[in-house]
Amino acid sequence: MNVTSATDKTSTESSASSSTKSTSTVDYNTFLQLLIAEMKNQDPTNPMDTSQYMSQFAQLSSVEQAMQTNSKLDALLSSSALSQADGLIGRTVSFTDTTGASVTGKIASVSINTDGAVATLENGTKVMVGPGLTLS
């Protein structure tokens, strides 16, 4: 029976290449590869309990479903933010800038960043959409 070592160069290289694809997470394929390697290299006189395998599969399935839910939620939030931004274009906004001056203008465009929505007025002034703005 051929048993490869945990420090075998080919298995280490394949693990390294799969870990560079997914930055600090174990994806479904990597998990299956580890599980198959574990099954191949277990002691035949004292095999692992099948309930442990099923528990590992259930945990992986749960994590994978949570990741899919998160990606769908991100898409939904992005869509909602774009719909809200579209509703701001053409409206008049009033706010107080950092110097204390009162600024009023019509919104020409809205961009969505990681920090939030930024409205650009017709005169080129940019303002973060959030508390302190008055829309009319």
Interhelix angle 50-88/28-40, rounded to 10 degrees, is 170
Residue 105 backbone phi and psi in degrees, to 5: -170, 170
Per-residue confidence (pLDDT) for residue 26, from 0 to 100:
66
Per-residue confidence (pLDDT) for residue 25, from 0 to 100:
65
Residue 50 backbone phi and psi in degrees, to 5: -65, -25
Is the domain spanning 85-135 CATH 1.10.1060? The answer is no
Per-residue confidence (pLDDT) for residue 64, from 0 to 100:
80
Q: What is the 3-state secondary structure (H, E, C) of 61-103?
A: HHHHHHHHHHHHHHHHHHHHHHHHHHHHCCCEEEEECCCCCEE
- Token pair, residue 116, equals 């939030």
Angstrom distances, CA of residue 25 to CA of 10, 60, 63: 21, 12, 11
Specify the pTM. Answer: 0.47
Domain boundaries, the chain: 9-83, 85-135
Q: pLDDT means per 10 residues in the chain (136 residues)?
A: 47 46 62 78 75 78 84 87 84 86 89 84 87 82
Buried b (16+ CB within 10 A) or exposed e, 19-45: eeeeeeeebeebbebeeeeeeeeeeee
